[in-house]
Amino acid sequence: MNDARERILDATLRLIGEKGIGAVTNRSVATAAGVSLGTLTYHFANQTDLLRESLNRFVDAEIDRITAIVLNLADAGLAPDQAAEEVERTIAALTNATEHVANLELHLHASRDPEMRVAAIRSVDAYDRLALVVLEGLGVPDPARYAPTVVALLYGLAVRRLATGDASGTGTADALRLLLQGALAGS
């Protein structure tokens, strides 16, 4: 990826995470990225393109990161209780709250902007697929039925953590364990 383009996308995510989508103006992004306004508009014709590409970039990086975690969990052959504990430890290790705030802001923005919705749907679909792999590995019957619920649970807990400033992820394992026990009991 072009270095200027990458800096622009990084700056956009950082601005959204720190100040909200309203802070994303061509001038503020160009200044934060250390590029000229002309460079910004060369790479992104409008705000929708900039926001959509920012979300896509975050999602691509997040999918790569989570896929590595999922593969490690699958290779470890963990029981559901152990997997729930590992998910909580992984969440507690997340250090870039600003990017996660930006991700959630962009998803909310997509609810009001149909042009952004494609990127948000792609993101949620990717999380659902990853949850499906984990649930299959844990032997959950009908994992496709429960994958969206797991994703919704983790999204909701992310909002709670970000809103309260609790970076520990406390309660994630308990919530996930409860959901897994219910799914496994249904078999």
- 121-154 pLDDT tens trace: 888 888 888 888 888 888 889 999 999 999 999 8
29 found inside a domain:
no
The pLDDT, as a whole number, for residue 49 is: 92
7 found inside a domain:
no
pLDDT tens for 20-55 read: 999 999 999 999 999 999 999 999 999 989 998 998
Share of residues in the chain with pLDDT > 90 (%): 31
Q: Is pLDDT of 98 > 90?
A: no
Q: At what angle do helices 80-92 and 143-164 cross, to 10 degrees?
A: 30
Q: Is pLDDT of 8 > 80?
A: yes
pLDDT tens for 149-176 read: 999 998 888 888 888 888 777 888 888 8
* H or E element in which residue 61 lies: helix 47-76
110 found inside a domain:
yes
What CATH number did the domain enclosing 97 receive? 1.10.357.10
Task: State how far the Cα of 89 lies from the Cα of 108, in Å rounded to an integer.
Answer: 27
Pick from 152, 131, 153: nearest CA to 142:
131
Range of the domain at 80: 47-185
Higher model confidence: residue 79 or residue 3?
3
Share of residues in the chain with pLDDT > 70 (%): 97
Higher model confidence: residue 5 or residue 116?
5
Q: Is pLDDT of 107 > 70?
A: yes
64 found inside a domain:
yes
Q: Is pLDDT of 118 > 90?
A: no
52 found inside a domain:
yes
pTM over the 0.95 mark: no
The pLDDT, as a whole number, for residue 127 is: 85
11 found inside a domain:
no
The token pair that represents 171 in the structure block:
């309660």
HSE-up of residue 75 (Cα within 13 Å, Cβ side): 6
112 found inside a domain:
yes
Domain count, the chain: 1
- Alpha carbon of 6 to those of 1, 2, 98, 112: distances in Å? 6, 6, 17, 26
42 found inside a domain:
no
